[in-house]
Structure 1
Amino acid sequence: MSGFPRSLLRPAAYLSVPYALLGAALTLPAFPFALLVALVPGPPQLHFVLALSALALVVGLAGLAGPTRRFGVAVANALLGTDLPAPGRARTAWPDRLRSAAWLVLHTGLGGLLLAIEGTLLLGVLIPAMWLGGDQGEFSFFGATAAPGPWTVPVALVMLLAALLVAVAATRGFRAGATALLGPSATERAALAERRAAVLAQRNRLARELHDSIGHTLTTSTIQAAAAADLVEADPAQARRALGTIEEASRSALEDLDHVLGLLREEPAAKEPARTLTEVDVLAVRARDAGLDVRLSVTGPVAALPAAVSREGYRIVQEGLTNALRHAGPGGVDVRVEAGPERLAIAVVNALPGVGPRPGRRGLAGLAERVEALRGELDAGPDGERWRLSATIPLRTGA
């Protein structure tokens, strides 16, 4: 109750009134049926009970419809300020339909009750107008007969305050009821968690794609641009070759970026660039043009590798060469790709930097996830005076 005084100053505390008005409006289509039922011979009290029961029955049956739940959630979020997740597009289960029907009956019934209470209290606020208008005739007030007078002013203020408090309490009650009956069930929460996990996995995959492709291109282009700037006068031919490498790498990165942006927009995008280990020599050439002494060794039927394995193998070599461009010490970089009958083995080995940061872990973490998804193993770390990135991916179920 301590929060009530502050709630009285917030417009959102009175959202129960428009919500109740909507509930009353929703009962209008069911009124003809209720009136027909009330025509059954009997005392007035029976007519009232039959009409009310018929009204609740029709409203409850309407609440069983699948779209009713989505409508109820949308209305509660819009008029009550709740934050209920929208139900999925799958067929609504019967327990959830029953909860929706129960809430629709409560929404309309309690909404009508609230409007009746609020109308009565606000009518009492008008009593001082009789006294101020000079009316001296007696009137009935809650079963008691009284004459207008100064006492009507404080009574009107009390009734106004009561009307405000009832509206605030009704808003809280409606929010609690909507959360309990329109909120997600255990099944819906599990489905929602799966959807969120899928979205997170997609974001992680896109982050890896951007890191692997765009990060590699930016690293290569930066080094090549610096080299071209130094050679533009001393060796124009070599500077042109460096600029050509930048152009080729940028074009490749644009294809990757177009694909990733298409996924982010959730629209048909360009076909995913199929870069595999058959193009590993292109990576080596780009790295050599950027100044690395790359010694590449490819053995085995690389072209016969499964597409998924070959794509991930390409990314592993790409990440290894990117880290070497950023962090390697003096000396050559050995790249070994061995495609055997039972496994694919990749190793990228370069000299450790004498000082400065070691290779970053963000790209390596993405590679570890890729390799783990293929039931493989990834290892990265110092090996004597050299840095070794190695991966082994099985090619057979029993491997």
Structure 2
Amino acid sequence: MVRLLLPLTHALTYTRWLHLLVGAIVPFVCAMVYPGLSSPSPGDWVLIAVLPVPLVLAVAMVPSARRAEGLQARLMLFPGPLARVRSDEEPGVSAAPSASWSDRARTAVWMVLRLETGLVIALVTGQLMALSLSLAGAAAGDPGFADPLVRVSGGSWGYVLLAPVPVLALVAVAAGAGALMAQAARRLLGPSLKERLSALEERTERLLEGNRIARELHDTLGHALTLAVVQAGAARAAADPEFTDRALETIEETGRAALEDLERVLAGLRETGRPLGSRPALDEAGRLLESARSSGARVDAEVTGPLEKLPGPVSREAYRMLQEALTNVLRHAGPVRVGVRIAVEEAWLRLEVRNPLAEAASAVSAAGVGGGSGLRGIRERATLLGGEARAGQDGREWLLHVDLPLR
């Protein structure tokens, strides 16, 4: 009994009911022209149901008709943010214009189904409401107060107990019909194959953008924090005021650059679609090498070829890869000797970073081969550019080798 009465408390029941009744407007307007609504026969009702169909089919061929029907279905057939019926499920109803004849055909079927169902629900609503009024009139001694198909004879106060029954039955019918129409809307007004592919592409773009921003933050903040930790530790161990001043200066410069990168990334997040702004390129690699040297690492760099003529995407991503490689060296091996080789060849950019693999750091570094987020980010950057990145033990050294195509 509680389940039968539950739809009475849901606003969704009444919005679906209204949506169904709106579908009956067109056949009733047509019926006023022909054959009329004055004591129509069963044959007249069949004619009333059939006559508007060609008009509805013609309207369904207009692309914007699908958008209008989709918006109405979303608004009235599915729970809204203030509904007592909670649902995290997406309606699955498109609100885009028809883009193909398949869309037009599905829209036409939906509009005809809505018309016919609305007409039936309107007739059932009229009859059940008339029956309820007739029962209430019979309780008052006037059963002819309304004229339903089911006649009520006599007069008795007992009829007052039956008067709510047709109303409850009507609500149950409206709730069931509304639920069925919601399912039909998902099938007939759901996104087409082209729309699903477009939505999938948008989701993929968002995921890629999120991964790119995560890599940017990881590289920038990870590099800055690693340098700060190494510099602070070295300054404390040295106990030399002059060295401490240089360390603090390096930490300040690195922190300022990290804050600028952080502000640039956050600005892109605040404004959807805004580019992340200018990013450092490989011709600024000297700044990274000096930062590593100031942390105590002995960096031997070999650069061949014009770095300033590299394609923008290759140059920017290679800068981040070098930054992450030097950060990993300082984090896992400490201030050791580091060999950096950057070679610009005819069709490739080759980047190598190698450092002694100390026994104490061997286990830590080896653990990063498969699961380290830094090395994983380097591999992802290289793959997106059509290149390759390899990292592993090479004799008694740890070697990172990256090949990036220039075309």
Which category describes the TM-score, using the shorter chain as reference length?
0.7 to 0.9
Tell me which residue corresponds to 1:261: 266
CA distance in structure 1 between the partners assigned to 2:302 and 2:9 by the alignment: 70
Tell me which residue corresponds to 2:397: 386
Tell me which residue corresponds to 1:245: 250
Q: Is the 8 A contact 1:320 1:389 kept in 2?
A: yes
Tell me which residue corresponds to 1:212: 219
Residue deviations 1:322-372 (CA, integer Å, cap 9, x gap): 111211156312222122223222111123351563346212222112212
Is 1:71 aligned to residue 68 of structure 2? yes
Tell me which residue corresponds to 1:372: 383
Structure 1 residues 174-183 or 321-330, which shifts more? 321-330
Is 1:163 aligned to residue 174 of structure 2? no
Q: Report matched runs for 1:200-349 at 5 Å.
A: 200-227=207-234, 234-267=239-272, 269=274, 272-328=277-333, 331-349=336-354
> Which of residues 116, 123, 127 is equivalent to 1:109?
116
Cα offset, 1:225, TM superposition? 4.6
SS at match of 1:357: helix
- Closer/same/farther in 2, CA of residues 64 and 89 from structure 1, 3 Å limit: same
Is 1:178 aligned to residue 185 of structure 2? yes
Q: Is the 8 A contact 1:223 1:290 kept in 2?
A: yes
Residue deviations 1:233-254 (CA, integer Å, cap 9, x gap): x544433333332332233333
- TM-score under structure 2 normalisation? 0.80
SS at match of 1:146: coil
Tell me which residue corresponds to 1:193: 200
CA distance in structure 2 between the partners assigned to 1:7 and 1:288 by the alignment: 77
Residue deviations 1:105-137 (CA, integer Å, cap 9, x gap): 323432342243234334434455335435588
CA distance in structure 2 between the partners assigned to 1:50 and 1:213 by the alignment: 73
Q: What amino acid sits opposite 2:401 in the alignment?
A: S
Q: Is the 8 A contact 2:300 2:338 kept in 1?
A: yes
SS at match of 1:183: coil
CA distance in structure 2 between the partners assigned to 1:26 and 1:137 by the alignment: 30
Tell me which residue corresponds to 1:352: 357
CA distance in structure 1 between the partners assigned to 2:229 and 2:383 by the alignment: 31
Cα offset, 1:181, TM superposition? 0.6
Structure 1 residues 371-380 or 8-17, which shifts more? 8-17
Residue deviations 1:78-97 (CA, integer Å, cap 9, x gap): 32227235647676223213
CA distance in structure 2 between the partners assigned to 1:248 and 1:91 by the alignment: 57
Structure 1 residues 297-306 or 141-150, which shifts more? 141-150
CA distance in structure 1 between the partners assigned to 2:382 and 2:3 by the alignment: 57
Structure 1 residues 134-143 or 319-328, which shifts more? 134-143
Residue deviations 1:5-37 (CA, integer Å, cap 9, x gap): 647525686635323424544665886666445
Residue deviations 1:284-316 (CA, integer Å, cap 9, x gap): 111222332322222233233222222222121
- Closer/same/farther in 2, CA of residues 248 and 6 from structure 1, 3 Å limit: farther
Q: Report matched runs for 1:36-115 at 5 Å.
A: 36=33, 38=35, 52-81=49-78, 83-85=90-92, 87=94, 92-115=99-122
- Closer/same/farther in 2, CA of residues 162 and 25 from structure 1, 3 Å limit: closer
Structure 1 residues 79-88 or 370-379, which shifts more? 79-88
Q: What amino acid sits opposite 1:61 in the alignment?
A: A
Cα offset, 1:271, TM superposition? 6.4
CA distance in structure 1 between the partners assigned to 2:274 and 2:202 by the alignment: 22
- Closer/same/farther in 2, CA of residues 124 and 62 from structure 1, 3 Å limit: same
Structure 1 residues 107-116 or 366-375, which shifts more? 107-116
Q: What amino acid sits opposite 1:388 in the alignment?
A: L
- Closer/same/farther in 2, CA of residues 277 and 16 from structure 1, 3 Å limit: same
Q: Aligned-residue CA RMSD in angstroms? A: 3.6
Q: What amino acid sits opposite 2:113 in the alignment?
A: L
Count of residue pairs brought into register by the alignment: 388
Cα offset, 1:157, TM superposition? 5.6
- Closer/same/farther in 2, CA of residues 57 and 263 from structure 1, 3 Å limit: farther
Structure 1 residues 81-90 or 319-328, which shifts more? 81-90
Q: What amino acid sits opposite 2:66 in the alignment?
A: R
Tell me which residue corresponds to 1:361: 372
Q: Is the 8 A contact 2:66 2:96 kept in 1?
A: no
Cα offset, 1:321, TM superposition? 0.7
- TM-score under structure 1 normalisation? 0.81
Q: Is the 8 A contact 1:280 1:314 kept in 2?
A: yes
Cα offset, 1:151, TM superposition? 5.7
Cα offset, 1:381, TM superposition? 1.7
CA distance in structure 1 between the partners assigned to 2:165 and 2:263 by the alignment: 66
Gapped runs of 5+ residues in structure 1? Answer: none
Q: Report matched runs for 1:18-29 at 5 Å.
A: 18-25=15-22, 28=25
SS at match of 2:112: helix
Gapped runs of 5+ residues in structure 2? Answer: 80-89
- Closer/same/farther in 2, CA of residues 22 and 218 from structure 1, 3 Å limit: same
